[in-house]
Structures are given as structure tokens and as C-alpha cells.
Amino acid sequence: MQDSTSKHKEEDPEKELKVTIRPMREEDYDMVIKLWKTISGFGIRTIDDAKDGVVRFLRRNPGISVVAQQEDGSIVGTVLCGHDGRQACFYHVCVKKELRRRGIATRMVKTVLDTLTAEHINRAYLIAFKSNEGGNEFWQRQGWSFKTDRNYYEMYLNQDNNTIFNQ
């Protein structure tokens, strides 16, 4: 996966926002979890989203997940994504609140989809909470299909892997 850099104007036209989309690395974890904890309504799992869980996920799915990084090194967006050889699942797609609606999420998602296509993955899915109006609008604008013809089931294999939602 190649890095993707472009400039987007901030509200102050004299200032440009330069963001690079690049593969997420293990050493990004501290900045990534810090960002995730700032996202209102975001669910963080106590085991899966701990450092060991994220590192295991990245190693299992090398080069697929991405971050959006500013020139100062700060991480302002993430997409955690993996696949099983047939289909991919998107997790933790987010952009720092004050930088939203500037194309960062669109660029991250496109980068991940391009990587998945190169790996011959033909389908991707995600779960967006009903209460996440902005996220649901984003996915619809991106051309993702809302499915009403199926049920979603889950089974917890580790009862200690709790989801804690940010306020």
C-alpha cells in the first residue's frame, strides 16, 4: 500500500491541512487509542482494543488498516480493517471531530478498498450503530448498501471482552 498525501483547506483559508494516509503500524497504538477515546459514542473493547489485541489484528492483516497523519505526526483518523480471504470487515473508522467533512475518511476508506481489491477480496461489510447518524449518512454517501434482508447474530467467546462506550 502506498502513502497518500493531499492538502485540504481548513476554515482559515490561509492555513492548509496536510494529511497523509498510510498503513497503521504497531507503534501507532498509543496515538490511535488516544484518538478513539475522544470519539463520542465510540465503543472500545477491553481486550480486542487493548494494545495486544490491536497488534495481533495488524499482524494478521498486514498493510490493510490505515491512519491519517498530520505533518506534526499526530494521528487524526483511523480505519481498522481485516479479511478472511473472502470478505473484509471495517472497524473503528473515525476522524477527529474538528477535522471531519474534509475528505479524510473518504480517502482512508478508498485506500483500504484499493488494498482489498489488490488482494482479490470482493466484498466488504461493516456495522454502524443505528444511533450513529453521521456515520450512517457517510456510508450511504459512499455508496454502501444498507441491508434489511438479514439478521445479525453474535456470540461472546470471552465474557471479559466488554465494550465501553465513550460519552
Task: Round to whole Å and give the CA distance between 10 and 142.
Answer: 22
Instruction: Determine the pLDDT at residue 124.
Output: 97
The residue segments making up the domain with residue 93 are 4-165
Phi-psi region of 123 (alpha: psi -120 to 50; beta: other; left: phi over 0): beta
In order of 10, 73, 93, 119, the CA distances from 76 in angstroms are 14, 9, 11, 26
Total number of domains constituting the chain: 1
3-state secondary structure of 88: strand
Alpha helices by DSSP H, 61-132: 104-118
List pLDDT tens digits, range 5-51: 544 444 443 345 799 999 999 999 999 999 999 998 888 898 999 99
Q: CB–CB of 104/19 below 8 Å?
A: yes
The CATH number assigned to the domain holding 134 equals: 3.40.630.30
List pLDDT tens digits, range 54-108: 999 999 999 999 999 999 999 999 999 999 999 999 999 999 999 999 999 999 9
**Model confidence at 3, in pLDDT bands (50, 70, 90)?**
low
